[in-house]
Amino acid sequence: MNEQRLLATLVPAVTALAGWAAWLGWDQHRDVHPDGSTTGPYAAWQVIGLVLTLLAAVYWSASRHHIAAATLGTTAGLTVAAAYDWSDDASGLFMVGVVLLALGSLAATAAVSATISTVRRGTA
């Protein structure tokens, strides 16, 4: 049973790390608009792609009723990826963003995992 739980944790964690690298890791510049405002470095389609990639891994783990594993694996993977990617921030405030990302992904992934597990349990 422990091997299944470990795998159910590692799949979302590795998917989060690889997904971050594939969808967000390569884009490091901000876009400057004619009025002087800046956006970025990520476009909406990149974040949506990451979310959909993560949803597949969370579904795989949560549908096997490993809610905590899906939640913690995804959150850990995203948190490590963000901390590494944002650590060169000149303002020194990157940890605020990392903590907010960790809290947000923990809450969102817990809700999605619980919903998936409940729906799968009801149909099984």
Strand boundaries in the chain, DSSP class E: 31-32, 38-39
Tell me if residue 91 falls in helix, strand or coil.
Answer: coil
Distant-in-sequence, close-in-space partners of 96: CB < 8 Å, separation ≥ 6: none
pLDDT of residue 89: 83
Q: What is the pLDDT of residue 36?
A: 83
pLDDT in tens, the chain (124 residues): 589 999 999 999 999 999 999 999 887 778 888 898 887 788 899 999 999 999 999 999 999 999 999 999 999 999 999 999 998 888 888 999 999 999 999 999 999 999 999 998 877 6
Instruction: Answer for the pair 77, 14: CB distance below 8 angstroms, yes or no.
Output: yes
Model's pTM, two decimal places?
0.88
